Amino acid sequence: MTETENIACSTYDVVVLGAGPVGENVADRTRAAGLSTAVVESELVGGECSYWACMPSKALLRPVIAQGDARRLPGLSASVQGPLDTAAVLARRDYFTSNWKDDGQIGWLESIGADLHRGHGRLTGERTVTVTGPDGIRKVLTARHAVALCTGTRAVLPDLPGLDEVKPWTSREATSAKAAPGRLVVVGGGVVATEMATAWQALGSQVTLLVRGKGLLNRMEPFAGELVAEALTEAGVNVRTGTSVESVSRDNGTVVVVTGTGDRIEADEILFATGRAPRTDDIGLDTIGREPGTWLEVDDTLRVTGSDWLYAVGDVNHRALLTHQGKYQARIAGAAISARASGAPVQADPWGAHAATADHGAVPQVVFTDPEAAAVGLSLAEAEQAGYRVRAVDYDLASVAGAGLYGDGYRGRARMVVDLEREILLGVTFVGPGVGELIHSATIAVAGQVPISRLWHAVPSYPTISEVWLRLLEAYRDN
């Protein structure tokens, strides 16, 4: 067989590179509009979120948070003082990842009429993707209307002496490990670092958390990181801020970490949670005059700047590295691609179907530690840096009746950042048990630019934690 005979060619309306939640949602929208759609995936259909991020991490954390809630309740606390059943927790995690098999996700793609192409996909010219399958056979997929890059991100490892021999964990190993290491060093102070420190400490590891900066969760209000750090310390985690890692090695199976101050820390495993990079280094960007390995700038329809056919959706455009925001972008991109394919105008409408405006100022996030930290919009510092005339209003969540019902020793805090010119909310942050389910109300207020005068008439149910809204508004009115 000649090389030419070893290449199959197919033409579709849309080619989607990457079959994670973002790529799946783009395909869902374009197929719903009647566009033939190919989806290319080199790993598991369902992507990072389904197998190595959102789902397994939250499956690990849910028993930890439930136990923490129970331990604060008189009448129940005495019954839950023992350790978690680590094997049962890991088995439940495996269930939520479908044991790292994607049959169900493949079935879903088939149900919407999208064609799946297994293998590594690369751009090989305008509107063209070449897929090299596991068997070495190549397929050339040509898109009539659009190619959507939905390839996500990968973990970044620092350039440290000895790192290769250590075989460190990244977020993937941290969420898929088959047993709890006796001693675990976690390097980083962000979401992955704090969540995995929370999980593995509760599952039996002795965790040391090394943070180069002054505190945790530095993209949120400072009190969020402070409350999470306090709780981690009380749970037994050795939290060390202002600590850099200078070198790592593995000696007879033991990881040896040397810090910037010369301290030597020994562990069984080490997790680096030190950032993400776009998975654009080997997808053929050079064939269309763009730089491999870079983030891709897009407009609000998720079309790559300077192109009329290329879209970059989800993490690769660096707008908001969150699954729910990527899926939101995918719905916008799918609608925009479909409209342009039909010749219809792409413009704002009552649903905002063609413009990803939420990425600019109303991005919600929940950190599933104990206590949870949840935020949407701008922090006080971000609002001030952006030039707004603002006021922060704080309230102790423990003073809310509904929070007290969660148990003894409830600790939490709420803040809303008010634009004093328009009297709307620019940002809201909650920290405390149970606040993850509270953040959507704040998202509606921020995204909808609801005037404070109207929020006053959104009456919270009693006794729930949501009564904090009343207390925040009272504090704003009375001071």
**CA angle in degrees (0–180, nearest 5) for 444-334-33:** 115
Distances (CA, A) of 304 to 8, 151, 385, 410: 28, 14, 28, 47
Q: Around Cβ 246, how many Cβ atoms within 10 Å?
A: 13
Q: Which amino acid is residue 257, in one-letter code?
A: V
195 labeled binding residue: yes
CA distance 256 to 478: 56
- Among residues 282, 253, 283, the alpha carbon closest in space to that of 270 is found at 253
Task: Confirm whether residue 139 is marked as ligand binding.
Answer: no
According to the annotation, is 191 in a ligand binding site?
A: yes
Would the annotation count 101 as a binding residue? no
427 labeled part of a ligand binding site: no
| CA nearest to 313, candidates 455, 148, 196, 107 | 148
Provide the CA 293 distance to its chain's centre, in angstroms: 20
356 is in an annotated binding site: no
What is the crossing angle of helices 21-32 and 103-112, to 10°? 20
User: What residues contact 27, with CB distance under 8 A and at least 6 apart?
Assistant: 14, 16, 37, 39, 109, 112, 114, 334
Amino acid (1-letter code) at residue 165: E
Annotated ligand binding at 275? The verdict is yes
User: Has 178 been labeled as part of a binding site?
Assistant: no
Q: How far is CA 99 from CA 52, 117, 128, 240, 314, in A?
A: 11, 22, 34, 35, 25
**What is the rounded distance in angstroms from the CA atom of residue 225 to the CA atom of residue 209?**
13
CA distances from 266 to 208, 248, 249, 254, 372 (A): 10, 10, 10, 7, 29
CA gap 121, 471 in Å, rounded = 53
Q: Is 419 within any annotated ligand binding site? A: no
- Does the annotation place 361 within a ligand binding site? no
Residue position matching structure tokens 């397994």? 56
Q: What tokens does 131 get?
A: 């897929």
315 annotated binding-site participant: yes
Residue 194 annotated as binding?
A: yes
Q: Residue ranges for the binding site for NAD(+)?
A: 188-195, 275
Binding site members for FAD: 58, 121, 315
